[in-house]
Amino acid sequence: MTPLRRLTRFLLAALVATAFLSPATAHATTLRIGVQKYGTLVLLQLRGTLARRLAAAGVGVEWAEFPSGPPLLEALAAGSIDFGTAGEAPPVFAQAAGAPLLYVGVEPAAPAGEAILVPQDSPLRALGDLAGKRIALNKGSNVHYFLVAALAKAGLAPGDVTLVYLAPADARAAFERGSVDAWAIWDPFLAAAQQATQARTLADGTGLVRNHQFYLAHRDLARDHPEFLRILLEEIAATDAWAAARPPEVAALLAPRTGLSPEILGVALSRLGYGVKPLGAEIVDDQQHIADVFRALGLLPKAISVRDTVWNPQS
């Protein structure tokens, strides 16, 4: 081989390597994934199957934990992570704020996995009794829309109550000391509060919301490395199948990570569904409805089209 041909091959190899080192995968060969304390992505992290599979291709995995969906998607918008999971409302708010996200998968509905709690001795007995009361919730989280829907069922608007925006840990403290009258919260925080405080469920999401969990990717990742998304979704599907057949084992595995007992986690897991799928038209329409409701309430800065943010692996 002539020196010129050797140089040409070297330069081509360098160009290929540079193309692989996309910002969407942490500057080289690292996939950055955001997780919450609970759910399939945490199991994927703890079992190590994704990390082992990607390591064989020379790709590392970094995991970052977030207390809820909104800060996780803020990190995705900032380019700090490439992939993560959130409930129904956070991606709507993130898209309206300009986040370069794509919906790439969804877990089955779990409406009983979120609820409005009141103290056991509370005089509140129906959703209509919330008028004029103080309700804690995590702003922009999955329970935000749930609470809006629950109030609407009772003929109430958000302005008919006082919304107290607090992260789950702060909300529980406020709930326990009586600073708020009710608390809209999701599992596993829901199951933990029910066990620890003997709180009464005023209403859960059944008949009001679907409470889907979505997988979301940075657009750069989908554009530059769709093969990573395919691997991720394959491993998520495999972990879903593994978890669906082993609830006690899942609870035991999650207990140290969450700080909750296997018994509490067992309650939460009983309200959870497994089986990641692409987003169908009905789910996209549901997300669009949520976006339209928040826009009508003046909570979104602009109208959005959810359909524009659904990953099409064929495109």
CA dihedral for 186, 191, 195, 196, sign (positive or negative): negative
Whether residue 8 has pLDDT greater than 90: no
Q: How confident is the model at residue 315 (pLDDT cuts 50, 70, 90)?
A: low
Whether residue 18 has pLDDT greater than 50: no
String of DSSP letters for 159-212:
GGSEEEE--HHHHHHHHHTTSSSEEEEETTHHHHHHHHH--EEEEESTTT----
Burial 137-159 (b: 16+ CB within 10 A, else e): bbbbbbbbbbbbbbbeeeebebe
Q: Do the Cβ atoms of 185 and 146 come closer than 8 Å?
A: no
**Mean pLDDT for the stretch of residues 229-237:** 97
Q: How confident is the model at residue 57 (pLDDT cuts 50, 70, 90)?
A: confident
Q: Which two tokens stand for residue 175?
A: 């709930």
Per this entry, what is the length of the chain?
A: 315
- Cα–Cα distance between 294 and 157 in angstroms, integer? 12
Whether residue 7 has pLDDT greater than 60: no
Q: Which two tokens stand for residue 217?
A: 């990717």
Quote the pLDDT of residue 23.
Answer: 39
- Cα–Cα distance between 217 and 84 in angstroms, integer? 7
**Helix (H) or strand (E) segment spanning residue 70:** helix 69-77
**Mean pLDDT for the stretch of residues 152-180:** 97
Whether residue 104 has pLDDT greater than 60: yes
Top-level class of domain 3-108+212-259+272-309: alpha beta
Top-level class of domain 111-204: alpha beta
**Mean pLDDT for the stretch of residues 28-52:** 93
CA atoms within 13 A on the CB side of 162: 7
Q: Which two tokens stand for residue 211?
A: 């409470």
Q: Do domains 3-108+212-259+272-309 and 111-204 have the same CATH topology?
A: yes
- The whole model's pTM is what? 0.88
Whether residue 190 has pLDDT greater than 80: yes
Looking at residue 38, the DSSP 8-state letter turns out to be S
**Non-local CB neighbours of 277 within 8 Å, separated by 6+ positions:** 105, 106
Q: List C-alpha distances in Å: 278 to 10, 38, 218, 219, 259.
A: 40, 21, 16, 16, 32
Whether residue 26 has pLDDT greater than 50: no
Task: List the chain domain ranges.
Answer: 3-108+212-259+272-309, 111-204
